[in-house]
Amino acid sequence: MTPLGTPDSLLIIVPALNEEAAIAGVVREIREHVPGVPVLVIDDCSSDTTVAVARQAGAEVLPMPHHLGLGGCVQAGYKLAYELGFQYVIRVDGDGQHDARDIPRVYEKLKTTGCEMVIGSRFVADNGSRTGAVRALGIRFFRLVLRPVLGKEVHDPTSGFVGVNRRALDVFRQSFPLEYPEIEALVVLQRRRFRFEEVPCKMRPRTTGRSSITALKSLYYVLHVLLGIFVNVLKFDRRYHRAQRERGAGG
């Protein structure tokens, strides 16, 4: 897997944990709709045959030595992509919920706008994507919370269908939220004055396995993410103001 030295080199990363039933379909669909683009499945120490099935379907696999969680897996993919010199990375979930036909749109937006992150959003336009009532309420809540923090509306802050360019890769390989990374990653980028855009994408209902976010974990999720947002806002504001002061003192 090499970026072939091209300025537009793209890598698709697919974090997966026990997705033997879905991963082959995900990889094949990506290869069908984005031919010639390498697919890297990052296996979070699955206890089933995810690794073998993904390899058989034509993906490269980066197996983790032990369970790291979603953030740890995605960051490992970002680190490898940065080392190999890729310019763009698009993350697609391993459960088959993301439609690979949307990948070219995310990629195109990354290239044409020059923004650091593009989110595949279910809610930019009504595209028939549906989500549960509790989850929809949570998304609405975080949209309200994030509006003043990000300075602009983000329609689908919990989307895992995300594309980043090399500047964002450089940030994320050094610092990336390890648990529930989607929302916090947005704040990390915004505090560095990076830009993000959204493109309408379709999300399919999960066909195999279960979501990692159960009803019991929802409250913990909200508290964890709120704390993460708060900490990131404080951390980067302090650094930003310090840098401003030093710049002012320097002349």
Q: Of the listed pieces 56-64, 114-122, 194-202, 221-229, which binds other proteins according to CB under 8 A?
A: 56-64
* Residue 71 Cβ vs other proteins, minimum distance, rounded to whole Å: 9
Asked if residue 85 binds other proteins (CB under 8 A), the reply is no
Torsion sign, CA atoms 98, 201, 61, 78: negative
Among 83, 108, 153, 170, binds other proteins (CB under 8 A): 83
Q: Residue 157 corresponds to which tokens in the numbers above?
A: 């802050």
Interface with other proteins (CB under 8 A), residue total: 15
CA torsion 67→71→76→78, rounded to 10°?
A: 160
Asked if residue 46 binds other proteins (CB under 8 A), the reply is no
* Residue 39 Cβ vs other proteins, minimum distance, rounded to whole Å: 14
Burial class (CB within 10 angstroms; exposed 0-12, middle 13-18, buried 19+) of 114: exposed
Q: Which is nearer to other proteins, 69 or 120 (CB)?
A: 69
Q: Which is nearer to other proteins, 42 or 203 (CB)?
A: 42
* Residue 9 Cβ vs other proteins, minimum distance, rounded to whole Å: 17
Decide: helix, strand or coil at residue 108.
Answer: helix
Q: Hey, which residues between 162 and 191 contact other proteins (CB under 8 A)? A: 178
Residues in the chain, how many? 251
Asked if residue 80 binds other proteins (CB under 8 A), the reply is yes
Asked if residue 63 binds other proteins (CB under 8 A), the reply is yes
Asked if residue 55 binds other proteins (CB under 8 A), the reply is no
Residue type for position 28: R
Other Cβ atoms closer than 10 A to 69: 18
- CA-CA distance, 165 to 126, in Å (whole number)? 27
Asked if residue 72 binds other proteins (CB under 8 A), the reply is yes
Backbone φ and ψ of 205, nearest 5°: -65, 150
Phi-psi map region of 36: left, alpha, beta (phi>0 left; psi -120 to 50 alpha): left
Which residues form the interface with other proteins (CB under 8 A)? 1, 60, 62-66, 68, 72, 75-76, 79-80, 83, 178
